[in-house]
């Protein structure tokens, strides 16, 4: 499953710096001038999962394989972008493809780093960027509506379902609210998602603070936090500068550096986990002598769907799943101990997989 988080914001606010830290590369050019990024940079990021190390120790696994999530570093956008200002519409298609929008908001003062609006005001920056996305959604819906309304008068069932949803989104957007604020009628979630609107996606705010404020946040990030609460958005404080330094260190050095700054772990770990959470995802494990591995599934997925993430054949030929919770696996020191203690369950097709389950799938045919 390829899940994508898109990094979005005004030019020169630290998006590429954050992307490079996430991907531990210098793949994206990150320089002090606006519109440095034009083509989107795409990178795969391992999801930090401390439980994997524990499982590998117990199972004597030769290798640890985390699951991964994609980040896309998108070009900066400015006021008027939906009408072609700056790099114009080209970034919109890039945003359309992502599952979560990560707004990077500048929360640091630095006279040497150009701010396109000439002042630091992260909440106003968020409003500027989101307004462009709302205008783009409004325009695309208005274009589609006439045609859809015609179709809906005939036998077209899909059009009949879609038209009230389009009107629902239009009503929100015309009130100056993003489509995600709409109350979608039950049973129509799939058609709603199919509208593919930019402002429909879950949102995560990154307050990109100065190096001294990484552990505590600052006045700017406090304002972003209040705004995130109002918007029902997730929120993380990060200093992209620090993260880019941490990314170049080995594990021990990084831990020491972070401790000096009063941080327990890289801010990126919080960011990745929050993205994972926002996507409604969870993790199950497989563990053996060859590898300890994390697999990403949706919350609520049943055992055959979980098996299908390993191999589509596993889903089709699913018979049963032998399952041990992570806690039992650790308490009873692995599979054999858990089994002896009666903690290994045999689950069938209807089993809803729980976060942290350690699983073996039995397949037939």
First-to-final CA distance of the chain: 25
166 binds, among Mg ion, ligand ATP, none (CB under 5 to 8 A by kind): none
Residue 113 vs 191, nearer CB to ligand ATP:
113
Q: How far apart are CA 200 and CA 202, in angstroms?
A: 7
Q: Packing angle between helix 122-153 and helix 219-230, nearest 10 degrees?
A: 20
200 phi, psi to nearest 5 deg: -90, -20
358 contacts 325 by C-beta, under 8 angstroms:
yes
Scanning the structure block, which residue is given the tokens 């940079």? 41
Residue identified by tokens 């009130």 is 175
The entry of Mg ion, ligand ATP, none near residue 110 (CB within 5 to 8 angstroms by kind) is: ligand ATP
316 annotated binding-site participant: no
Pairing of strands 318-324, 345-347: antiparallel
Task: For the beta carbon of residue 203, count every other beta carbon within 10 angstroms.
Answer: 21
Q: Which does 229 bind (CB under 5 to 8 A by kind): Mg ion, ligand ATP, none?
A: none
Give the residue with the Cβ less far from ligand ATP, 39 or 229: 39
Interface with Mg ion by CB under 5 A: which range of 30-38, 100-108, 197-205, 345-353? 30-38
Work out how close the CB of 218 gets to ligand ATP at its nearest, in angstroms, rounded to a whole number: 11
Residues at the interface with ligand ATP (CB under 6 A): 9, 11-17, 30-32, 34-37, 76, 108, 110, 113, 208, 210, 239-241
- Smaller CB separation from ligand ATP, 30 or 234: 30
**From the list Mg ion, ligand ATP, none, which binds 234 (C-beta under 5 to 8 Å, kind-based)?**
none
Q: Residue 137 and residue 134: Cα distance in Å, rounded?
A: 5
According to DSSP, the residues that pair with 293 across neighbouring strands are 65, 286
Q: In terms of DSSP bridges, do strands 100-107 and 203-209 run parallel, antiparallel, or are they unpaired?
A: parallel
CB closer to ligand ATP, 13 vs 321: 13
Residue 275 is inside which H or E element, if any? helix 267-278
240 binding partner (options ligand ATP, Mg ion, none; Cβ < 5 to 8 Å by kind): ligand ATP
Contact partner, 254, from ligand ATP, Mg ion, none, Cβ < 5-8 Å per class: none
CA-only gyration radius of the chain, Å: 23
Q: Is 244 annotated as a binding residue?
A: no
Q: Is 15 annotated as a binding residue?
A: yes
Interaction pattern, residues 35-74, with Mg ion; x per rule: CB under 5 A = -xx-------------------------------------
HSE, side-chain direction, 13 A CA sphere, residue 166? 20
Interface with Mg ion, residue 12, by CB under 5 A: no
Residue 107 Cβ vs ligand ATP, minimum distance, rounded to whole Å: 8
Distance CA 170, CA 8 (A): 23
**Contact pick of 16, 23, 200, 208 for Mg ion (by CB under 5 A):** 16
Nearer to ligand ATP, 106 or 180 (CB): 106
Q: Rule CB under 5 A: which residues touch Mg ion?
A: 15-16, 36-37
């Amino acid at each position: 499953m390829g899940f994508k988080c898109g990094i979005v914001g005004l030019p020169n606010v630290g998006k590429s710096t954050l992307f490079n830290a996430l991907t531990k590369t210098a793949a994206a050019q990150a320089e002090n001038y606006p519109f440095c990024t034009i083509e989107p940079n795409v990178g795969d990021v391992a999801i930090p999962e401390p439980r994997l190390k524990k499982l590998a120790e117990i199972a004597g696994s030769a290798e640890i394989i985390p699951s991964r999530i994609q980040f896309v570093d998108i070009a900066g956008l400015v006021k008027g972008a939906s009408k072609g200002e700056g790099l114009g519409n080209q970034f919109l298609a890039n945003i359309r493809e992502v599952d979560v929008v990560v707004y990077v908001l500048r929360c640091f003062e630095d006279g040497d780093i150009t701010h396109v609006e000439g002042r630091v005001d992260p909440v106003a920056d968020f409003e500027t960027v989101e307004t462009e996305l709302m205008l783009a959604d409004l325009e695309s819906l208005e274009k589609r509506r006439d045609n859809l309304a015609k179709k809906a008068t005939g036998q077209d069932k899909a059009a009949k379902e879609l038209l009230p949803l389009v009107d629902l989104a239009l009503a929100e957007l015309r009130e100056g609210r993003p489509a995600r604020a709409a109350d979608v009628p039950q049973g129509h979630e799939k058609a709603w998602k199919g509208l593919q609107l930019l402002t429909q996606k879950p949102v995560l705010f990154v307050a990109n603070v100065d190096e001294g404020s990484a552990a505590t946040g600052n006045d700017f990030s406090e304002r972003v936090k209040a705004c995130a609460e109002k918007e029902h958005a997730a929120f993380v404080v990060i200093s992209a500068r620090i993260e880019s330094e941490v990314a170049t260190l080995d594990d021990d050095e990084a831990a020491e550096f972070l401790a000096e700054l009063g941080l327990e772990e890289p801010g990126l770990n919080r960011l990745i986990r929050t993205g994972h959470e926002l996507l409604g995802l969870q993790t199950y494990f497989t563990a053996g002598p060859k590898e300890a591995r994390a697999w990403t599934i949706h919350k609520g997925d049943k055992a055959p769907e979980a098996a299908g993430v390993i191999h589509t054949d596993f889903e089709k030929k699913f018979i049963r799943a032998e399952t041990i919770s992570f806690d039992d696996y650790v308490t009873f020191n692995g599979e054999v101990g858990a089994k002896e203690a009666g903690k290994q369950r045999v689950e069938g097709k209807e089993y809803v997989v729980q976060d942290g389950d350690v699983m073996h799938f039995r397949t037939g045919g």
